[in-house]
């Protein structure tokens, strides 16, 4: 599990361990920046008597991903699931984000998952089994304003998950894309959101500042009670991973805003699947049994 220091990753790691799984919860810089979070997670695991380990993993480094996966394989003897969850949010005007701003977010939110996959897929291919799970978002479908680079990065991760699944399916490796809707409580996305670097361009859009300022409040106003929130996403991760081979959904939506993303998913899947079948690659649409 990547990005386990806070939010969905933290809750899911603890819930999975509580359900009897052996969990390796990863985060960056466990010795310094995230030392308190790592200690708190270890203490919770000890109090609950669950099999949870905190390890170092920076998704912006292939070496770090390789080392973390090798550590899990050496200590546990096998790998069954990887959950690509690490991510960051940026808020602001698209034009004001420099190319470096946008590339940095894509690096974390999309390429980070690719690095982790490159580290874990050799183990999965050798076993001809495993689960690639991605904590994505409904945002590539809903595409709200003022979150431009985040939308782009999450859409990139989603597309990467889809195209990787074709090849993974051939080796009996399952793919699940978990799509949380808007969440304003239970994560640190909005409080810790990044901002655009180009302050001059940001100032040029000042007439829109009041809209940006109420973005979080506007988002919260869409959510319908009772809220599933981050805890509901964690519960869905546990539920899906408990399903037998061949019964896990390719996508699952947990959306307190009830934006109708499932309808779009269904149409998109049928369109894509029909095209792939016409290409003669129907066997790549679902994981093959060993």
**CATH code at position 224:** 3.40.50.720
- Considering the domain boundaries, does residue 40 fall inside one? no
Ranges 15-19, 129-133, 186-190, 247-251: which has the least confidence: 186-190
pTM (2 d.p.): 0.96
pLDDT of residue 193: 85
Question: Average of pLDDT values for 168-180?
Answer: 98
The residue segments making up the domain with residue 230 are 78-284
- Considering the domain boundaries, does residue 225 fall inside one? yes
C-alpha dihedral over 36, 40, 42, 43, to 10 degrees? 130
Alpha helices in 88-222 (DSSP H): 99-106, 112-127, 139-142, 148-169, 199-204, 209-213, 215-222
- Considering the domain boundaries, does residue 254 fall inside one? yes
Please tell me the total count of domains within the chain.
1
Residue 201: exposure state from Cβ atoms within 10 A (0-12, 13-18, ≥19): middle
- Considering the domain boundaries, does residue 13 fall inside one? no
The proportion of the chain whose per-residue pLDDT surpasses 90, expressed as a percent, equals: 93
Residue 190 has pLDDT above 70, yes or no: no
- Considering the domain boundaries, does residue 47 fall inside one? no
- Considering the domain boundaries, does residue 32 fall inside one? no
DSSP state of 40: H
- Considering the domain boundaries, does residue 243 fall inside one? yes
pLDDT of residue 216: 85
Strands, E assignment, the chain: 23-27, 52-56, 81-84, 130-135, 173-180, 251-254
pLDDT of residue 139: 97
The C-alpha atoms of residue 216 and residue 230 are separated, in whole angstroms, by 16
Residue 188 has pLDDT above 80, yes or no: no
φ and ψ at 219, to 5 degrees?
-65, -45
pLDDT of residue 262: 98
Q: What is the mean pLDDT of the chain?
A: 95
* pLDDT tens-digit series, residues 198-238: 999 999 999 999 999 998 899 999 999 889 999 999 999 99
């Amino acid at each position: 599990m990547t990005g386990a220091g806070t939010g969905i990753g933290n809750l899911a790691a603890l819930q999975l361990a509580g359900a009897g799984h052996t969990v390796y919860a990863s985060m960056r810089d466990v010795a310094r920046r995230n030392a308190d979070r790592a200690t708190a997670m270890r203490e919770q695991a000890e109090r609950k008597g669950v099999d949870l380990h905190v390890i170092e993993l920076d998704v912006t480094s292939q070496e770090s991903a390789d080392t973390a996966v090798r550590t899990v394989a050496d200590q546990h003897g096998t790998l069954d699931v990887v959950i690509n969850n690490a991510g960051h949010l940026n808020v602001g005007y698209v034009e004001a984000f420099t190319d470096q701003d946008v590339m940095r977010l894509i690096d974390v939110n999309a390429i980070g998952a690719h690095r982790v996959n490159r580290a874990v897929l050799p183990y999965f291919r050798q076993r001809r089994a495993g689960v690639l799970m991605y904590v994505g978002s409904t945002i590539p479908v809903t595409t709200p304003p003022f979150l431009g680079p985040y939308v782009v990065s999450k859409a990139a991760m989603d597309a990467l998950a889809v195209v990787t699944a074709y090849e993974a399916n051939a080796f009996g490796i399952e793919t699940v894309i978990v799509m949380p809707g808007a969440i304003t409580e239970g994560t640190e996305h909005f409080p810790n959101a990044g901002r655009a670097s180009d302050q001059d361009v940001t100032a040029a859009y000042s007439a829109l500042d009041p809209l940006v300022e109420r973005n979080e409040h506007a988002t919260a106003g869409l959510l319908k009670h009772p809220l599933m929130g981050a805890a509901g996403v964690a519960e869905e991760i546990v539920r899906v991973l408990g399903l037998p081979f061949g019964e896990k959904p390719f996508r699952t939506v947990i959306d307190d805003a009830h934006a109708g993303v499932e309808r779009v998913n269904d149409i998109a899947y049928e369109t894509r699947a029909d095209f792939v079948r016409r290409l003669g690659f129907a066997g790549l649409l679902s994981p093959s049994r060993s």
